[in-house]
Chains A and B, each alone.
Chain A
Amino acid sequence: MIAAVTEHLPALVVITPLTFSFILPPLGRRLGLARGLVIFSAILSLLGAAGLAFLVFTNPGASISYQMGGWAPPWGIELEVDSLAAFFLLLVALVNLPVVLAGRKNLTAEIGSEGRVIRFYALYLLLIGALSGMALTKDLFNVFVLVEVATISCCALVSAREHPQAARASFSYLILATLGSSFVLAGIGFIYISTGHLNMAFAGDALVLAGQSSPRVLWLAFSFMLVGFGVKAALFPLHIWLPDAHSTAPAPASAVLSGLAVKGYIICLMKILFTVFGPALMARFTVPRILLAAGVVAILAGSVSALLQDELKRRLAYSTVAQIGYIFLGLGLMNEQGLAGGIFYLAGHALSKALLFLAAGAMLAATGKQKISDLAGLGKKMPVTMAAFTIGSLSLIGIPLFAGFVGKWQLLLGSLESGSILASAGIILGSVLCAAYLLPVVRIAYFENAGPAQVQNPGLAEKLSLVLLAVSTLVLGIFPGPFLELALRAARDLLGCC
């Protein structure tokens, strides 16, 4: 039994959330039971992901390959648990558990009836399944399917609240995301035409030859991919859907959308860029420079836009646009340190941003107000929530001993190794701007005198979820050892396979 579970673990971590997602809707209005199942599935995912990560971590150089239905590649679909996949799987599971813990009270208040909450959870699990799949899959068409699944569930999550704004945000997201998906599909099509393969490794090998005969087709394929995934990952200036979508979604959904969903697309893009195209071809198409410039522009533009927002959740959403820039910048550096920095920053941001969104959600639920200036005095009234928010802020700013710092440090090392002054300046300036837009929130909450109004403190489950995320942010910042090692290995794998 145990042997069978271990053997099929790569498939199981994807299938588990999907299965639970299909069990939920028939439950009707039994929210308690549904929540139990969701939390159970989150724990299972965490165990599975931790197991896989442990296996990968203890066997450096080896990766676990799983063939769906026993069909060997290049015909069958291959799931591969390499360092990058293990890293992202674990991250998904680490964010997933606190987010599902947080739900209940606030979620019911935000969404409406209990039946709707159950449907919300069904879609949520669908998204988690798709993200886990994105981490593992080695098949290009499978990537497209998972991207579509994720997109649809994201749309539904954004529109979960019964609010005209939510419907509008969800609609514009739907339009743009579908456009992005079709771009991705077109890109996959071009790769398939040029190589005849859908398996990434095989396509990559064939592409080396194809690159010499028909570089224009590949250039086109690459452009489609970058724009398609750029829209989905909210790379500036393709981010226009994100602020509305992430700020109108219910808090747990915002946490996952900002923390994980956009990252899933980046992981896919990373795999396609480095495994299929390969560093040599990328350099020929000046891809690194494009990524680097896009990253720096995103950091600066996103941060400045965040500074201009009055509403807390919108500010956090724009901050995501800026932080995505760091990850793209890491991709563009094309060296081990920089790429590992980008990958690690992805994790640091996922945890910190999920923490910030959950804390913001708790604050909004308590006060019923959106503006940052309305948060005065919350530091005393909601100590746990504000402490969590502060930890998340410090991490994003990049204060040592928080997760964000480790990523930024690696990125800085990488940017110096590649000799890119622009990148270093972008990283540093982004930190300062981040302090400028996050610290005022902390200041107002702690140091401004509050009105007499009483607030409703979050429940125990909410507090527990905040504490879990805050502790992970700190642990990742103080003892990043294994995580950083996985990121470094993933970077070596990605850069080495040309």
Chain B
Amino acid sequence: MVNLVLTLLSGVAGALVIFLLPRTKKRLYPPVVLIFTLASLVFCWLLARQVWQGQTVRLDASLAGLPFSLAPDPLGMIFGLIVASLWLFATVYSFGYMDKKPRLGTYYAFFLLSLSVTLSVAFSGNLLALYLFYELLTLVTYPLVIQTREEATKPAGRKYILYSLSGAALILLAIVLTYSRGGQMDFSTGPLLAGAAPAGLGWVLGLFILGFGVKAALMPLHRWLPEAMVAPTPVSALLHAVAVVYSGVFGILRTVYSIFGIELMQELRLARLLPWLAVFTIITGVIIATRQDVLKKRLAYHTISQLSYILLGAFTLQPWGLAGSLLHMISYSTLKITLFFCAGIISEQTGETDISRMEGIGWQLPRTMLAFGVASLGMIGMLPLNTFWSKYYLMQGGIKSGGWIFALALIISGIINAVCFIPTVVAAFKGNKTPSVEKGRKVYLMLGPTLLLATAAVLLGLFPGLVWPGIEKVLLQIFAKVV
């Protein structure tokens, strides 16, 4: 309990400290932010230990006459750990990237607040808490999207808010429908709608998928994501490749496994359509990605495609598929953040944002482009990178659920992924050798986390057993068996 509270409060407390620090003490920001992010991570690990050991950690409150609870279960814990761990890398990267940029106080305060809110989404123990924090996440990340205050941030920010709040409104409706149908809101007692008659529940499922699908960037609800790339790179990397979009994905995982449950899902016609929607998003997203010339936009469309890998696994309703989903949540996030970090270093050090102008850039930024290359291989799903394993499980899940075509889609997507990134890496080392610009404190602060993450991805590919115990816990809880 203490760990739970401290994990969540670290971010809020940090934001408060930043807010109260006088504006003249800007050099104090990085240490403060680092301390509170680290604290959150440490408590999160302690909490995870408790949860793995099977302890029930709960925090209940009756607010507004309605129950709200925080109760991390294995599924939420995996999401929470991903978030808390990657936040640290993005924070250090921010110290380099945001150096000497304006409005640092606002940036760090909301960066820390977003950490708390994202973790709260992960640890929500019932529908209302999930809704509350999901809605709050939109509001606390909005200032980060419009951080630069450039002209382009206005429409992008508007779209971000409008898409997300509309989605949240649909979720509220779906929650009330669920509540009036089953009278249950707490996730701990098994699927909320288990045993309910399936008639009419297709609509409820549809509302949930539409609502969470906005943040999970399920096509055609994805339009806000490429535009949100006006944010500073650490924000794009962490929030719009991982934290915010994962909260949508997580919401869908909850919908499928904690609200509807496998038996009910198998009976709903809509549930059989969902994998196809995911396949459509996977293929279309990556094809659109190859046509983008702005690197960050390409990465954004690529995110859209990859998120649907996770959704596809969840929609198969198979242990293999879910294991693949969870593995992909872990592996993809490490690699995608690496790619974004590289894009940030490129734009900061050379000023280039368009891929067509990046020929020969590898000579200037050798280590950056090395990391970029490693991550690109990962996106194809090659050994020794961690995404190989997640793709393997996802394909198994697809085949087990009776659709070899799902496995085929993943293979095709892998090939398009190669087209998407490998030429960039090759072109980067064309032309004459130019002197390296990877020097100075700023670059090291950005390069450090990037290389560490790339290394971590390789290590996780070589030793996938490191994360397996956590996934096993989720599978045992949901399917009562491991693959």
Contacts and interface: CB of A to CB of B under 8 A. Distances in A.
Interface of A: 397-401, 405-406, 409, 412-413, 416-417, 424, 428-429, 431-432, 435-436, 439-440, 443, 446-449, 477-481, 484
Contact of B143 (A406, A428, A447): A447
B228 to A, nearest CB: 15
A424 B204 CA distance: 13
Contact of B180 (A416, A428, A447): A416
B57 interface: no
Contacts, number: 71
Interface stretch (B163-171, B185-193, B412-420): B163-171
B64 interface: yes
Query: Mostly helix, strand, loop or mixed at chain B's interface?
Result: helix
Which of B68, B158, B173, B177 has the largest number of chain A CB atoms within 10 A?
B173
Given A440-B158, A449-B149, 10 more contacts: A400-B66, A400-B131, A400-B135, A401-B63, A405-B64, A406-B64, A429-B169, A432-B165, A443-B146, A481-B65
Contacts of B139: 399
B169 A432 contact: yes
A420 to B, nearest CB: 13
Given A412-B172, A439-B161, A449-B149, A400 B132 contact: yes
Contacts of B136: 399
B219 to A, nearest CB: 21
B21 interface: no
Interface string B52-74: 00000000000111101000000
Contacts of A480: 64-65
B173 A435 contact: no
B157 interface: yes
Given A436-B162, A439-B161, A431 B63 contact: no
Contacts of B180: 413, 416-417
A424 B170 CA distance: 10
A448 B128 CA distance: 33
A435 B64 contact: no
Contacts of A405: 64
Contact of B176 (A400, A413, A484): A413
9 contacts: A397-B165, A399-B132, A400-B128, A409-B64, A413-B180, A416-B176, A431-B169, A478-B64, A479-B64
The 9 A-B residue pairs whose C-beta atoms are closest, nearest first, are A412-B176, A400-B132, A428-B169, A416-B180, A435-B165, A406-B64, A432-B169, A478-B63, A432-B166
Contact of B170 (A399, A400, A428, A477): A428
A412 to B, nearest CB: 4
Contact of B65 (A406, A429, A440): A406
A447 B176 contact: no
A169 to B, nearest CB: 32
A122 B166 CA distance: 45
B149 A401 contact: no
Nearest to B207: A428
Which of B63, B158, B170 has the largest number of chain A CB atoms within 10 A?
B63
Contacts of A424: 173, 176
Nearest to B138: A435
B253 to A, nearest CB: 22
A477 B157 CA distance: 28
Contacts of B179: 413
Nearest to A402: B64
Contacts of A429: 169
A445 B180 CA distance: 40
Contacts of B149: 447-449
Contacts of B169: 428-429, 431-432
A112 to B, nearest CB: 40
A477 B166 contact: no
A436 B179 CA distance: 27
Interface in B130-168: 131-132, 135-136, 139, 142-143, 146, 149, 157-158, 161-162, 165-166
A405 B165 CA distance: 14
Nearest to A477: B64
Contacts of B173: 412, 424, 428
Contacts of A399: 132, 135-136, 139
Contacts of A447: 143, 146, 149
B120 to A, nearest CB: 12
